[in-house]
Amino acid sequence: MLFAADAPAATSLSASLGARSAGAYIDAATGRMVVAVTDATAAKQVRQAGAVAKTVKYSTAQLDTVQSTMSKAVDVAGTARHTDVTTNQVVVTVDSTVTGARLAAVKAAVAAAGDAARLETTADKFQLFIAGGQAIYTGGSRCSLGFNVRTSSALYFVTAGHCTNAGATWTNGSVTLGTRAGSSFPGNDYGIVRYTNTSIARPSAVYLYSGSSTQSITSVGNAVVGQSVRRSGSTTGVRSGSVTATNATVTYPQGTVSGLIRTNVCAQPGDSGGSLFAGSSGLGLTSGGSGNCTTGGTTFFQPLNEVMSVYGLSLG
């Protein structure tokens, strides 16, 4: 049987089924891996591999087409969309700023998709959270360091792109850390800062805001729906929750970002760029979301593996 620890195998199994697959996730009640499929033959293959098979109506490709078809209508500030693999639907969420004709257009687009989509609302507002977890500063902005990384010739840290867009020189509040070496926002939400101050200790670890304790990060992983995760940030410290979707899209007032990890972990301004992790595996960088850590909320993360690939980075 395949359980949460076998998520990479289940994800590979799902991908191998091609057009007959509708994604994989961890069942919260049993901890077992579930692979959604569209026909009986694929379901048999899943069971033989040790995972739970769930037969659904729409494949991943079909739901991707649904998202693409409605994208023009729903790609307005204050909206987010993702595929809910547990219900086999595209979910479009609108915040409190989407009203009038814009709201009517979103509702019409969702209705046109029939049972392949549903509309949800949030009383909060989708926003960027600019204000490894520890605080970093540029100009009048505060964000959070994501992960310490390197190439063969230089040392860096990664954080959110909407953070690195805000300034070139970064400090820890008292001494200079380094200068911006790259930034991608909107579209993506990642940035990289090259350390110019190499005397500062820079472990491959996440600060846990409990005394001086840290969590070592030894690998870069791919998030899986249902996975238990933690987030570290300079405003609210360490918070926990689970992954609710991957490849999600959110449209902030500043622009649209796609390919994100969606979670029910809370975050607040200043947590941006901070670390998303599961055990010793680094998963992502805090982008933005809705709500707060008093009432709860939804937070989106830029996948770490994309940043590592783009810049040719390794941990450390």
- Select from 256, 248, 253, 255 the least CA-distant residue to 299: 248
Cα separation values, 165 from 130, 182, 187, 251, Å: 11, 9, 13, 17
Active-site choice (14, 21, 162, 271): 162
Active-site choice (6, 95, 189, 271): 189
- The answer to whether 161 and 191 are in contact (CB under 8 A) is yes
Q: Is 152 noted as a catalytic residue in this protein?
A: no
Q: Please tell me the distance from the alpha carbon of residue 279 to that of residue 261, in angstroms, as a whole number.
A: 17
Q: Please tell me the distance from the alpha carbon of residue 167 to that of residue 126, in angstroms, as a whole number.
A: 23
Q: Please tell me the distance from the alpha carbon of residue 303 to that of residue 222, in angstroms, as a whole number.
A: 8
Active-site choice (14, 232, 272, 287): 272
Q: Please tell me the distance from the alpha carbon of residue 207 to that of residue 228, in angstroms, as a whole number.
A: 18
7's tokens: 């998520």
Q: Is 82 noted as a catalytic residue in this protein?
A: no
Q: Is 27 noted as a catalytic residue in this protein?
A: no
220's tokens: 């870069």
- Three-state DSSP class for residue 255: strand
- The answer to whether 126 and 117 are in contact (CB under 8 A) is no
What residue type is 18 in one-letter code?
G
- Select from 1, 295, 84 the least CA-distant residue to 10: 1
Catalytically annotated residues: 162, 189, 272
